[in-house]
Structure 1
């Protein structure tokens, strides 16, 4: 860890708690005022020197290590808007472009993306087939002279309604091996034939200042052949490499949500009086507090172990799958207990808990449902038990 990391982490935590969280009610309302407020937060983050800290320095980012970035997400995750306010939301797409984009693509898209001047989106999931199996993709891209002709139907293309481009994953080689059929193609969202069909509501979430989950259609959309991202047929590999580290970042942001919910729970238990004593003095409430603290402690330890594995150059598929599945469940449990301690108040928007609860349920599905990750864990360990992180084969 860098010598200044503790101070930096404190600075990020203070910015989230003192500037982003107080802005949440206005950001939740949406509209022009919310957009302006978010823009002011981004400008403030840049002024404070905490913008895009995990992005590589050669892209204009902070150049922080993977472990430092993971731990910063703990503080950033305290607010749903944290990653948008400090520029970390673009990290997965920025790293994808940094590795696979041509010089021309980098010049056009990468700099503005890291600076927060444009938004990106990814078209991977399709309504007609299981989103957990990208080899089933039906969207197509056919090379016609020096242009790709793209036909696609995607949904949960997050941010497409405000994005400058969508990286569309489509079948370019239908007769190839199932893991080599798909390619990634950059499609500007203002291309003729590109349509945002609707913003898809999710668990009560409607329009968001940070971009909606969109259903999109591409009908005979033509883009230059040079818009191919990476090698032809390499779409599956690009998608998996993009998703892997992001799952750790998600899980670390969940930790920030857990900690915030825990703080609200303890504060409520101290201030609320019922049936002859404060809630903090009642055994059942003490159990909620103890179980939640233990869940947070164990999730944090597992996350650090997974981040260390990535830092060593390991694909860390086991560790990432474990923290993704268990972390989503623990997030739900901690927030659920916090709501219970708040009683009816916890069901209202007067606290952030009801929104946190909805997002916690969603966490068990995005970036791979629990069942897929558990199947991967079982398959890998079933073939070679020494891959377990606590064995000699899986240890540092």
Structure 2
């Protein structure tokens, strides 16, 4: 395993990012949630728009795009500590234009889009002028197996006509959401990995109906949202298809690798903050005649939290290094490992932090309940634990003949 000390550029960016967070993000967490509520939940948040301008001016913008002159040019390994830092606050990734699903969609457009796609969609996304969504998961099938997707993409002259029902489509609630990358079947009779295709759908295309926002333990994640959507004879130009018919599974595999590791980076930030909150809390709370910090079970949980966080961080950095060195496909084992390990770690550390806070830990006065809901959600996002374990187990068996 290589050394993972920050290089000079990463260290400088991390220092600037932490300074920005201390000055502009942490002091405004309560204001953010107040503005979401006061604005009707599904509208622009004035604070975020203001902070985006400040982030651009500070050179903290589009840090995620690896090996590209369109972003900061950071590798996955260089980006990891920055993404972790952003993960400490629910909305901060948006401020720096590093939020999912836009990051994955921008990488998809850069790698697989035509020059016209890049002009019309990628550049506005990079500029932060629009937002986007990725429409893959469906309620009627086990979407963890992408070959199960049943929505249809049918050629009709110079157009494609799209029909289907999707859900848990993150980002559609954003008032600036202008693009959906949609996965569906173009040829149900083809080889099971060649049936799927991906196509670009402008959000304002007729036939798109948002049925409802889904909630995670009661959180609707406004204004981002996770929507259930019906596509009824949605018609777009044939030129909106990415790569060609039957290439959707291939694109999905390329897109989900970076998305998975970004989720892991962010949940490590959540867990690190939860541990800090736990340590602060137990020093001031007294039970049974002494501070919680002197109770054996608390000390053990703090120690185990540190062990688990550092284990997950090292595995994340190793996966990022492998992605940089050999590519996302060859690093799929490392990506699968961390996609299981990091969210499970975060759920446990945040759970212990909630216990240390008492009933306050599950209320609205602390970030712990919201972070727990997010960490638990990530155990499904971009594939559930069971899929990654199955893939990893098969690869391990193959290594042994």
Alpha-carbon deviations, 1:319-344, whole Å to 9, x = none? Answer: 11111111111101100111111111
Structure 2 alignment gaps of length 5 or more: 1-5
What does 1:94-133 correspond to in 2, within 5 Å?
A: 94-133=106-145
Q: How big is the shift at 1:27?
A: 2.3
State the partner residue of 1:305: 318
Check if 1:92 corresponds to 2:97.
no
Check if 1:156 corresponds to 2:171.
no
Structure 1 CA distance for aligned equivalents of residues 26 and 165 of structure 2: 36
> Which secondary structure state, in structure 1, belongs to the residue aligned with residue 168 of structure 2?
strand
Q: How big is the shift at 1:152?
A: 1.7
The answer to whether the 8 A contact 2:105-2:181 is kept is no
Aligned residue-pair number: 385
Q: How big is the shift at 1:180?
A: 0.5
Structure 2 CA distance for aligned equivalents of residues 333 and 7 of structure 1: 32
The answer to whether the 8 A contact 1:161-1:196 is kept is no
Q: How big is the shift at 1:23?
A: 2.1
2:33 corresponds, among 28, 33, 41, to 28
Check if 1:282 corresponds to 2:295.
yes
> Relative to structure 1, is the Cα distance of residues 27 and 325 closer, same or farther in structure 2, using a 3 angstrom cutoff?
same
The answer to whether the 8 A contact 2:340-2:379 is kept is yes
What does 1:32-43 correspond to in 2, within 5 Å?
A: 32=39, 35-43=45-53
Structure 2 CA distance for aligned equivalents of residues 206 and 91 of structure 1: 21
- Structure 1 runs of 4+ with >4 Å offset: 56-59
State the partner residue of 1:320: 335
What does 1:377-396 correspond to in 2, within 5 Å?
A: 377-385=392-400
> Which secondary structure state, in structure 2, belongs to the residue aligned with residue 222 of structure 1?
strand
> Relative to structure 1, is the Cα distance of residues 347 and 34 closer, same or farther in structure 2, using a 3 angstrom cutoff?
farther
State the partner residue of 1:53: 63
Structure 1 CA distance for aligned equivalents of residues 26 and 226 of structure 2: 23
What does 1:1-396 correspond to in 2, within 5 Å?
A: 2-29=7-34, 30=36, 31-32=38-39, 35-55=45-65, 60-89=70-99, 90-162=102-174, 163-209=177-223, 211-314=224-327, 315-385=330-400
Structure 2 CA distance for aligned equivalents of residues 168 and 311 of structure 1: 27
Alpha-carbon deviations, 1:180-215, whole Å to 9, x = none? Answer: 011111011111111111111221112513x11011
TM-score, scaled to structure 2: 0.92
Q: How big is the shift at 1:123?
A: 0.8
> Relative to structure 1, is the Cα distance of residues 341 and 228 closer, same or farther in structure 2, using a 3 angstrom cutoff?
same
> Relative to structure 1, is the Cα distance of residues 260 and 18 closer, same or farther in structure 2, using a 3 angstrom cutoff?
farther
> Which secondary structure state, in structure 2, belongs to the residue aligned with residue 175 of structure 1?
coil
Structure 1 CA distance for aligned equivalents of residues 26 and 143 of structure 2: 33
Q: How big is the shift at 1:249?
A: 1.1
Alpha-carbon deviations, 1:287-338, whole Å to 9, x = none? Answer: 1111111111111111111111111114211111111111111101100111
Structure 2 CA distance for aligned equivalents of residues 95 and 79 of structure 1: 23
The answer to whether the 8 A contact 1:28-1:208 is kept is no
The answer to whether the 8 A contact 2:220-2:226 is kept is no
